[in-house]
Amino acid sequence: MSGPVRATAVSVGALLAERASQAPLRNAFIEGRSGRTVNWRQLEETAGCWRTFRQVPARLPSTRVGLAIADPVVAAASFLAALGCGVTVAPLDGEAPPGQLLEHIEQLHLGALVTDSTDGQLLDAAAASGVAVWSPGIDDLHLLRAGLRPRPGAPATSAALIMATSGTSGTPKIVPLAERQLVATATAVAGHHHITSQDCGYCPLPLFHINGLVVGVLSTLVAGSTLVVERRFSRRTFWPTVARYRVTWLNLVPAIIGVLSQSKGPTQAQTPHVRFARSAAAPLPVATATLFERRSGVAVLETYGMTEAASQIAANPLRRSERRPGSVGKPVGIDLRVVDHTRRPVPPGTAGDVEIRGERVVSEYWAINDSRPAWPATDGDGWLATGDVGFVDDDGFLYLLARADDVINRGGEKIYPGEIEDVLLGDARVTGAVVVGRAHSVAGTEPVAFVTTSALVTERAALVDDLRGRCAEMLSRSKRPADVTVVDILPAGPTGKVRRAELRRQLAGAAR
């Protein structure tokens, strides 16, 4: 296998032209279930259709374009095409209810919506509000030639990608990322993971989140490789798909790894070509990673990223012997430090707030609905507070303990949910565990646990007793959960990240 690809182009448009010239018929994206493909030449043609709008006076000088596309192949192609012609892209959930999409159109000041939805309510309402609507398909490139003009009042912008986030404060805001930041991060991902033109990745993640877009789609463009995409993850078809396309690396999240660790593993013939499974978007319990590796034979590469850094911040080494279980790895092309409450760096092994700095880190936030001027995302020295709490060891490996909002203060003692969750997940019957804080009249807050379990478990009361005993053996008294509740499902977002705030709201409501 050749070495890692070093992209010679620095823009998406130039990279598309480069790939179309080097390997025009190589599949860029494949839909796992149907086998439908799009090659690099087709992608360059798609971008060419989009670029016609940039050459027409009074068209697209400042328009933000929303992409609400459920078809993963069309979503990937449209994302690259839009970036390739210089418009500002706002990825949206193509399967979201019409009302939610219309709300996003208003909040983000979108001038156009590219969607494969056939919902008349959405299409009519968008058109009535002055938003141009496209319905693209890989085989219907001529549809992209529909008229498109800026929406009245749409602000000018130099951002290539805008994504809404709630942030650590819970205040909705927009993260604007430049094209250079996206390409630089994708190049760092491809370089660190040694993704070459001979690789075939598998990304069963939504293509309206930063992970799927940058780690999946853009790193594939940088490497000139191939990526298998899916409309949604399926445990039944996962390993057969890996075998069918001879996948060499997996772009996953802990929720998917957890499901696969509890499912029937692959045959030896299905995975000999898989180099690693990449985990991101949420903490990966060591017990889950260990069980997955034992069952599948595929090594897990835990990483760390966030939208404000265009995805990847840190990653474990490719060499299995150099990885650290429980760590998200070392920073990759980015500065990282851990500080105390005065923002002074702390020694290795000391917990504190994680901060990052670098050219790939966003410099400002924008307000939803453009209700206020942009404000700095970083301090005067360029440091951005991630909202995560963790520590680095003597070798520079980062260990995340919790989100700052998730730390439980019990009578003055800080309790990190992950420590308790790892103990609970150590029981083979537990498939998921989340610990959140509940108000307490004396201690201020106390930890309570929610767990999911295998369908084979029928005696939930006995499981709860066993888990209480396990916590008593392995945790100090202050860290033992006050309650352990078995639930059918944990509230989660599209990438499988558990919505802890929703559980806290449920607890607060029950206490009234």
Name the average pLDDT for the chain.
86
Distance from CA of residue 24 to its chain's centroid?
Answer: 29
Contacts of 213 (CB under 8 A, 6+ apart): 79, 91, 161, 207, 311
Give the domain ranges of the chain. Answer: 19-157, 179-405, 407-511
Q: Say how far apart CA 459 and CA 285 lie, in whole Å.
A: 25
Token duo for residue 267: 């045959």
pLDDT (mean) for 60-86: 82
- pLDDT tens-digit series, residues 76-125: 988 998 888 778 899 999 888 888 888 888 888 888 888 888 888 888 88
Q: Say how far apart CA 491 and CA 452 lie, in whole Å.
A: 11
pLDDT band of residue 287 (cuts 50, 70, 90) is confident
- pLDDT tens-digit series, residues 326-358: 999 999 999 999 999 999 999 999 999 999 999
Place of tokens 């150590």: 426
Q: Say how far apart CA 402 and CA 390 lie, in whole Å.
A: 7
**CATH code for 179-405?**
3.40.50.12780
**356 closest CA partner among 376, 335, 338:** 335
For residues 86 and 417, which has the higher predicted lDDT (pLDDT)?
417
pLDDT band of residue 42 (cuts 50, 70, 90) is confident
Q: Say how far apart CA 121 and CA 258 lie, in whole Å.
A: 38
**CATH code for 19-157?**
3.40.50.980
Token duo for residue 56: 């027409």
Handedness of CA 123, 128, 173, 359 (dihedral sign): positive
Let me know if the fold of 19-157 is the same as that of 179-405: yes
Q: Say how far apart CA 208 and CA 76 lie, in whole Å.
A: 10
> Under CATH, what is the fold of the domain 407-511?
GMP Synthetase; Chain A, domain 3 (3.30.300)
pLDDT band of residue 145 (cuts 50, 70, 90) is very low
Q: Say how far apart CA 159 and CA 149 lie, in whole Å.
A: 18
